[in-house]
Structure 1
Amino acid sequence: MDLKGCNLDTFPPLGARLHTSVTSINLEDNALTVITKKKLAGLSSLTYLTLWNNKIKSIEDNSFSHLIALTGLDIGFNQLTSISKEMFSGLRNLNHLTLWNNKIKSIEDGSFSHLVALTGLDIGSNQLTSISKGMFSGIHNLTYLSLWNIRIKSVEDNLFSHLIALKKLNLGDNLLTSISKRMFFGLRNLTYLTLLNNKIKSIEDYSLSHLIALTGLDIGFNQLTSISKEMFSGLRKLNHLTLWNNNIKSIEDDSFSHLIALTELNLGSNQFTSIIKGMFYGLPNLTLLNIINNKIKSIEADSFIHLIALTELDLTGNPLTEIGAKAFAASWYPHGIKLILDQNFLCCSRVLYNELSFVNGNCTFEGNLEIFNDSFQTKCPTPCKPEST
């Protein structure tokens, strides 16, 4: 039943026949302010209810207790300020609950404990400022949890340890400043974690080692200044790592050597000034490496020698003036590699020529190495020729 945008300020009467037969009700974009138990009584066949974008300020305890078949409930974009323990009582078949973008400041411990079938919970864009372990008690089947933009500054140790089925956790756009060793303890099935856009300055060594199933990790837009050798220890299944837009100036040798399954690494918009030989050791499956918009002036010889699976290396927007001998030796990449050198200070006549028998420019060269350079530097002819000395 679609009642979207009908300017309703109260739950409409449905009649006895509809009460027992209707399976879906869409009340988006109306003016409802209160939900009561009486208004929802008798909707025994209802499986989906959306109350998105109303003006709901209060929901009477046990209001949904008659909705025994309900699997999806969306109360996003409303004006709720608190969640009580009995608000969702009776919803034993509910799979997905959305409370996104209300004004929620408090959630009573055990408020979701009735939701034994719940797999997805979104309470992002609220005003909680803190979360407790009891807040998520009883929801052992939860696989997705969004805590995006709820203004939290810290997460207590072991808070998520009972969420053993959790696969995706969104902690982006908060005020976290550090990651402690037991913050994510117990999340053995987690496959994706985003910490995007916090204020993280430090990650304690081995903090992520409990996340043995993790395949995607986003720590972009934070305030890290360095990467230590054990920061990513234990993440043997990680495929994608994003460290975009931090303040990283140094990476300890072998910092990525634990990441044997990594295929994509994004280190763009940081503060590197050089690439050294041990920086990317131990990444046998890496195919894409993004180091754009740093402050890299030089690349040491053999810096990428271990990246045997690499297919694309983007060095756009760096003030490169020197590349060490054999830094990009084509013999290492029989499958072919795309090297992007836009916006740099490399001299066309001397870059790469000695090791690959060609220079940079808008040319395709021998050795299966294709170089893209649309910078303001001198363009090379095709085929490229060295200047006489």
Structure 2
Amino acid sequence: MFQTTYQHWRSDFSSPSPSDNASINRQQFINLPKLKLLNIANNSIKEISDNHFFNELEVFRCDNNQMTTINSNVVNKLTNLQVLSASNNQLQTLGPDTFAPTNKMEVLDVSSNNLTDIDRANFPRLTNLTILNVNNNSLSQEVITCDNFNNLANLNILNLAHNRISQILNCTFAKLENLSKLVLLANQLEKIPPTAFDALTKLQELDLAQNQIRDIPEGLFNHLGELKRLNMSNNMLTELDLERLSTNVNLMMLDLTHNNLTNLNLRLLKDKFPHLTVLDIDTRLIKCDEISDILTFFDSRVKSCSVSGGCCRSVSGNTLTIIIGVSVTVCLLVAISVAIICGKFCRARKEPVIVFLPVPQNQN
């Protein structure tokens, strides 16, 4: 898969040292007609002014420059281009003819720019795309329309984090059946339609953190049978019935911190999530009897545990890890009120001593 090739290239093909190059002209590359990989990252380039470039180019990296636009007269002719990485520039829009009508583009990274629009004419030209990263821009729901995303059926990773998306429709992701990772972190979402994720049967990671979501509608996660990581921290949830996650039996990580939850039935963890390895919840949701039940249930799988920074991590690969933030006040109250009972219980059951350490509440 080309994703592996791309990652290998990113690690081996290091960026050049920063320089003061401000532009690239045709004469600099006139004798390189067979060039396949070009890295001009970490310069001060404001434009690529040539109207003819490299017909054989497959990987083009121009990150960390000062470009305000991608010259369509250049990129539009790159029919063999597979990777374009233009993050950390000053791009404001991707015009209608940015990419060649027929191309082999699999990876497009335009993260950390000033993008407010991606012309809809680009999406039918990106049918081979497997990775799309538009993180940290100013895009709204006008860009992630149903018609635009219907062309991206091969997409595997979609990063929409840190934008201005306030609405998702039932059809927004309806054609993204191969998606394995969806990041909607730090947008302006308040609600999500109950069937918005129905087509994402291969999704393994979903990040909804740092939005304004108040409710998880029934059925929202019903079709996400492969989901392993779910982050809903830093929202405005007031209640969450874990039964609504009952079809997510492969869930390994669940983060619910920094919401307005007042109650959570942790006992359901024993029956519903046999593969859960990381649980992150707020202090006020911890009830000693429920925690005891959970630890007892997982005792046969927890071989060795150490506590550091509020995290109880097992050294064995297939065991439970519970991450719980607990205040000093709670620790003192528990120690005073149940010291004798806990002492007898631990001696009788020979269970490991669990130490809760305070963790700052504003962790992401």
Same fold (TM over 0.5): yes
> Could you say if the C-alpha distance between residues 145 and 266 of structure 1 is closer, same or farther in structure 2, counting changes exceeding 3 Å?
same
The correspondence of residues 1-389 of structure 1 with structure 2, limited to 5 A, is 28-60=17-49, 62-64=51-53, 67-114=54-101, 116-154=103-141, 155-252=144-241, 254-276=243-265, 283-296=272-285, 299=287, 323=289, 327-328=293-294, 330-331=296-297, 333-336=299-302, 342-343=326-327, 344=330, 346-348=333-335, 351=338, 358=345, 366=349, 370-374=353-357
Change (3 A) 1:156 1:342: same
What is the CA distance between 1:234 and its match in structure 2? 0.9
The CA deviation at 1:235 is 0.7
The aligned counterpart of 2:5 is: none
Percent identity (aligned):
24
- TM-score, length-scaled by structure 1: 0.72
Residue 120 of structure 1: CA displacement? 1.1
Aligned-pair CA distance for 1:357: 5.5
Q: Return the offset for 1:109.
A: 1.8
Bigger proportion of residues as helix: 2
Q: Which residues of structure 1 form unaligned runs of 5+?
A: 1-23, 300-321, 376-389
1:185 CA drift (Å): 2.0
**Does the CA-based 8 Å contact 2:90-2:114 persist in structure 1?**
yes
> How far 1:85 sits from its partner (Å)?
3.5
AA aligned opposite 2:59: G
* CA distances 1:252-288 after superposition (whole Å, capped 9, x unpaired): 3521112122111111222222223686586333322
Letter in 1 for 2:301: H
Structure 1 residues 84, 334: CA separation in 2 closer, same or farther (over 3 Å shift)? same
SS at match of 1:159: helix
Contact 1:56 1:80 in 2 (8 A): yes
Q: Which has the higher contact order (CA 8 A, sep 6+)?
A: 2
Q: Distance in 1 between matches of 2:268 and 2:276?
A: 16
Alpha-carbon offset, residue 167 of structure 1: 0.8
Find the aligned partners of 2:344 and 2:62 in 1 and give their Cα distance. 64
Number of positions where the alignment pairs a residue of Structure 1 with one of Structure 2: 324
Asked if 2 retains the 8 angstrom alpha-carbon contact of 1:226 and 1:250, the reply is yes
Q: CA deviation at 1:33?
A: 2.5
Looking at structure 1, the residues matched to 337 and 295 of structure 2 have their Cα atoms a distance apart, in angstroms, of 15
Q: Distance in 2 between matches of 1:342 and 1:135?
A: 49
Q: Which amino acid aligns with 1:216?
A: E
Report if aligned partners of 1:264, 1:287 keep a CA contact under 8 Å in 2: yes
- RMSD across aligned C-alpha pairs, in angstroms? 3.3
Q: In 2 relative to 1, CA 333–229 (structure 1 residues): closer, same or farther, beyond 3 Å?
A: farther
Superposed displacement of residue 198, structure 1: 1.7
Q: Is the 8 A contact 2:77 2:100 kept in 1?
A: no
User: Aligned partners of 2:52 and 2:340: how far apart in 1?
Assistant: 74
Distance 2:350 2:74 in 1: 66
SS of 1:141's partner is coil
1:159-201: per-residue Cα shift (whole Å, max 9, x none)?
A: 2221122111111111222322111121111111111122222
Specify the SS of the correspondent of 1:97.
strand
Q: Structure 1 residues 217, 253: closer, same or farther in 2, change over 3 A? A: closer
The C-alpha deviation readout for 1:317-341, integer Å capped at 9, x for no partner, is: xxxxx64697447256532356657
User: Would the alpha carbon gap of residues 106 and 328 (structure 1) be closer, same or farther in structure 2, given more than 3 Å must change?
Assistant: closer
> What 5-or-longer segments of structure 2 have no aligned partner?
1-12, 303-319, 359-364
Instruction: Report the TM-score, using the length of structure 2 for normalisation.
Output: 0.77
